[in-house]
Amino acid sequence: MDPLAAGCLARNQWLCGEYLSSRRTDLVDALVQHLELTVVSVLIGLIVSVPLAVTARRAHLSQLLLGASTVIYTVPSIALFSLFIPYTGISAETVVVGLVLYSLTVLVRNVLAGLDAVSSEVKEAARGMGLGPTRLLLTVELPLALPATMAGLRIATVSTVALTTVGGIIGYGGLGNLIFDGLSTQFKAQVLTASLLCVVLAILADVTLQGAQRALTPWQPRGGR
């Protein structure tokens, strides 16, 4: 910290407008990295979870898949990231792989729950109209499973926003980089500002996805989640 800085920076206060103005570039860079890691991880998790859930359901391996994903979620994030360092190195890929695995726990469970919630009467009616297994899945089951899938996507996204900060231990944690650096140097304004931005980012992500969920599922009650 600049020894010539005046005011709240020099006094190392928690709330400091000078920090916002003098470290704006650092904050923007960290926020952009945080967003990139979160979006990439959640998108990969979503792309993988849907076919994985469908395949496991058809092969009657749903419980095995849920059990395996739950075991992964119990592994501490620092330990999980560390396991991949020998293969992916100290890089953003290490963080993304870990975040994708964590997101699968939530996404796979919700996709399976959504598919299981489709009534047998609806599926029989679709088959009676001549729909084969693939068309039934794409035009009936997956659309009706969308509310549960979107609910899982919201949970996975908010969780990923939080877990991304742990990547700060290897320098790829977005706002987590600032939090870890601030804690090591006791830079109060940096710790508080980066933490608050994480909270705001999680709230904005959840509100955005909630709006998308309502737009994509207009048949759902407005008060439903």
- Measured CA to CA in angstroms, residue 17 lies from 32, 45, 118, 142, 193 at distances of 21, 38, 53, 48, 10
Q: Is 75 helix (H, G, I), strand (E, B) or coil?
A: coil
Q: What is the pTM of this model?
A: 0.87
* Higher per-residue pLDDT: 67 or 195: 195
pLDDT tens by residue, 2-36: 444 458 888 888 888 888 888 899 999 999 999 99
Per-residue exposure over 80-94, b if at least 16 CB sit within 10 Å of its own CB, e if not: bbeebeeebeeebeb
pLDDT tens by residue, 87-115: 999 999 999 999 999 999 999 999 999 99
**H-type alpha helices, 59-145:** 62-74, 77-88, 92-116, 120-128, 133-136, 142-144
* Higher per-residue pLDDT: 131 or 156: 156
- Which domains occur in the chain, in start order? 23-214 (1.10.3720.10)
- With 70 as the cut, is the pLDDT of residue 224 above it? no
pLDDT tens by residue, 165-222: 999 999 899 999 999 999 999 999 999 999 999 999 999 999 999 999 888 888 777 6
pLDDT above 70 covers a percentage of the chain that reads 95
pLDDT band for 66, please (50, 70, 90 cuts): confident
CA-to-CA distance for 81 and 194, rounded, in angstroms? 21
How many other CB atoms sit within 10 Å of the CB of residue 68?
15
